[in-house]
Amino acid sequence: MAVKQPLDLAIVGAGIAGLIHLHYARQAGLDAQVLEAREGLGGLWRVLPAWQDIQLSTADWAVGDLPLEGPLAPQIQANIQAWADRFALHDGIRLGCGVQRAHHDGSTWVLQTAQGEVRARHLVAASGGHNLPIIPPVQRHDSRVDEWHAYALHEPAALAGRTVMVVGGGASAFDLIDQCIEHGARRIVWVYRGTRWFLPTTRPKAVAGSVRPFARMQAQGLSAAEQSALLGRDMVARYAKFGLQDIQPTRPVDVLHDQLFPGRPRMIQHYAQIERHRGEVAAIDGRQVTLADGTRLEVDALLWGTGYATDLGWFADPAIAGIRSVNQLCGRCGGIFRSLDAPDLYFPGVGLDGIGSAPWGYMLMARSIMSHIRGTARLDLVPAGHKINHFEIVRYLSQRDPASYPPGRGWDWYRELALNTPDDQPYPLL
């Protein structure tokens, strides 16, 4: 009986990253398949509450001329479906085919899936860098507090007229505070250990979240230190303008390590009415929540805006399975996304957590991964040690992947693209 040849490439995850990688694998003439655990496309966007949205403008999310109807989760999912339709990718996607175990046997990747064994020479883990909701461990005794992580709050109308505690200091917590205000929570209690830098604004995220000004700073040749200084001055001024100095981070803005996102208009407009406590939840007893400093607060509902971890538990190698964050993963990759712990393994999710457009970054990385597989790129195994953002991905990869950046399509061409593309138009599909 003939032995089935391994795939050139297996891609785990049918979200936007997985589909972009499948598209470019086919362009490169590679035999590739996407393996998706769920019964439909969309990745995490398929199961998020309908109010969840992107952190940036719709023009920055789109790649090429596929229209995006709006920033909300159902619209993002529809856009991912449109990708599969537009490029006829469905026959390369195996739904209900979750990967249960993955190991490299010395020559190929061996994937144990819900539909049997799959072998591939190369593996792209496109299952996301933020795919495991984090709920900190707390003591609970006879709890009568309704609890939801941001991932699971599908009916925010349930917050109306109630005392709601929001826990966390980043984008998810800000979103949850906005939901409390929008849906008429009677009292909002915000608990946080610290806060991340954000861009205070009263404009909607889909307008305020444009990364075009940042791209222009990169295109003009500003160093990371200069970019950090410019952004920092602007943000500090905005914190002062809106009276938010008490939640301003104490360390300076650093574009090589921070993920920047816009503020939430409702949160900023109602900031004075939000009861704030710097600390963390230690215990829940009945309807009483006790903080680590002993403060006791009676609440009806608790919303965990504590973010997501990276779940790579399906890898047999404990060095990979033990990775729990994008920052940790970044330190275990060379060439932005090439694993240091196993051969022929790539993590495009490390490009998601910086400043820029995730689909645009996925497109650039996918092209170079396919070029590397075909032997026309020289992706090294030297960790960058920091995030490589947006158009800096072009500068970085063009030095290592001449096939994807031929004469006339090198840095100068992309520089003009960054400087001259109108803010309401997506960057072209390459």
Query: CATH number, domain at 98?
Result: 3.50.50.60
The pTM of the full predicted model, rounded to 2 decimals, is: 0.95
Amino acid identity, residue 217? Answer: M
Does position 14 have pLDDT exceeding 60, yes or no? yes
Is 381 found in the same domain as 320? yes
Q: Is 369 helix (H, G, I), strand (E, B) or coil?
A: helix
Residues 268-305 have pLDDT tens digits of 999 999 999 999 999 999 999 999 999 999 999 999 99
Its domain, for residue 354, covers 7-131+310-420
Amino acid identity, residue 23? Answer: H
pLDDT, residue 263, reads: 87
> Is 216 domain-assigned?
no
Q: What CA–CA distance (Å, rounded) separates 167 from 163?
A: 13
Is 173 found in the same domain as 45? no
> Is 228 domain-assigned?
no
Q: What CA–CA distance (Å, rounded) separates 85 from 249?
A: 44
Is 362 found in the same domain as 276? no
Please tell me which of 94-98, 207-211, 356-360 the model is most confident about, judged by mean pLDDT.
94-98
Higher pLDDT residue, 351 or 409?
409
Is 73 found in the same domain as 17? yes
Q: Give the confidence band of 430 by pLDDT, cuts at 50, 70, 90.
A: confident
> Is 248 domain-assigned?
no
Q: Write down which residue in 282, 305, 328 finishes a domain.
A: 305
Is 90 found in the same domain as 183? no
Is 165 found in the same domain as 65? no
> Is 214 domain-assigned?
no
Query: Stretch 4-32: mean pLDDT, rounded?
Result: 96
Does position 38 have pLDDT exceeding 80, yes or no? yes
Q: What CA–CA distance (Å, rounded) separates 176 from 171?
A: 9
CA 402 distance to own-chain centroid: 28
Amino acid identity, residue 169? Answer: G
Residue 36: name the closest of 172, 152, 131 by CA.
131
CA 193 distance to own-chain centroid: 22
3-state helix, strand, coil in the chain (%, to 5): 35, 20, 45
Residues 100-130 have pLDDT tens digits of 999 999 999 999 999 999 999 999 999 988 8
pLDDT, residue 1, reads: 33
Is 89 found in the same domain as 50? yes
Q: What CA–CA distance (Å, rounded) separates 32 from 352?
A: 23
Amino acid identity, residue 264? Answer: R
pLDDT, residue 68, reads: 87
Is 278 found in the same domain as 141? yes
pLDDT, residue 2, reads: 41
Is 83 found in the same domain as 47? yes
Say if residues 62 and 86 touch (Cβ distance below 8 Å).
no
Does position 3 have pLDDT exceeding 50, yes or no? no
Query: Stretch 249-270: mean pLDDT, rounded?
Result: 92
Say if residues 245 and 257 touch (Cβ distance below 8 Å).
no
Q: What CA–CA distance (Å, rounded) separates 364 from 358?
A: 10
Amino acid identity, residue 351? Answer: G
> Is 241 domain-assigned?
no
Higher pLDDT residue, 401 or 55?
401
Q: Give the confidence band of 385 by pLDDT, cuts at 50, 70, 90.
A: confident
Residue 145 dihedral angles phi and psi, to the nearest 5°: -95, 125
Residues 138-152 have pLDDT tens digits of 999 999 999 999 999
Is 184 found in the same domain as 44? no
pLDDT, residue 429, reads: 87
Is 285 found in the same domain as 382? no
Tell me how many domains the chain contains.
Answer: 2
Residue 394: name the closest of 409, 381, 382, 384 by CA.
409
pLDDT, residue 244, reads: 97
The mean pLDDT of the chain is 94
> Is 41 domain-assigned?
yes
Residues 62-112 have pLDDT tens digits of 878 888 889 999 999 999 999 999 999 999 999 999 999 999 999 999 999
Which residue pairs from 394-403 have beta carbons closer than 8 angstroms and sit at least 24 positions apart in sequence? 394/364, 396/336, 397/336, 397/364, 397/365, 397/368, 400/335, 400/368, 401/367, 401/368, 401/371, 401/372, 401/376, 401/377, 402/376, 402/377, 403/371, 403/374, 403/376, 403/377
> Is 138 domain-assigned?
yes
Q: What CA–CA distance (Å, rounded) separates 249 from 226?
A: 19
> Is 222 domain-assigned?
no
Q: Which of 56-60, 177-181, 412-416 has the lowest mean pLDDT?
A: 56-60
Is 141 found in the same domain as 126? no
